[in-house]
Amino acid sequence: MAKIKKGDTVVVITGEDKGKRGTVQRIDAKHERVVVTGVNLAKKAQKPVAAGRGRTQTGIIEFEAPIHISNVMLVDPSEDAPTRVGYRANPDGSRSRVARKSGSEIK
């Protein structure tokens, strides 16, 4: 069970984009990185490829680059503040994520 999942709202706690909020689009567990909407924007020059082979955007494109998972913190939905994540055992044997700050369950 991961502490941060796709669709979670997170805040950047360090680096150039410190304080920015966004939604997690993608997680790369192997490299411990996440892609967050509107955070860590990068630009690159994209050349066109032969027709029908993929790339639709050409020229200079802007995209969200991955950021290390340790540089983001989950936003507590009840307090709207950054919080650490813990786990609570449910009576049926499953576990659920819990915000450490407020103790509320995170969906």
Residue range of the domain that includes 66:
9-78
Condensed to tens digits (0 to 9), the pLDDT of residues 25-77 reads 999 999 999 999 999 999 999 988 776 666 678 899 999 999 999 999 999 98
In whole angstroms, what is the distance from residue 48 CA to residue 5 CA? 34
Q: Is residue 56 part of a domain?
A: yes
Higher local confidence (pLDDT), 21 or 57: 21
93 falls within a domain: no
Count CB-CB contacts under 10 A for residue 93. Answer: 6
Of 39, 40, 58, 37, nearest in space to 49 by CA: 58
* CATH number of the domain that residue 74 is part of: 2.30.30.30
Residue 28: predicted pLDDT: 97
Residue 35 lies in a domain: yes
Residue 73 · residue 39 · CB < 8 Å: no
**33: closest CA among 83, 80, 84, 72?**
72
Query: How many distinct structural domains can be found in the chain?
Result: 1
Q: Are 10 and 21 in contact (CB under 8 A)?
A: yes
Predicted pLDDT at 2? 83
Is 85 part of any domain? no
Q: Domain for residue 101, yes or no?
A: no
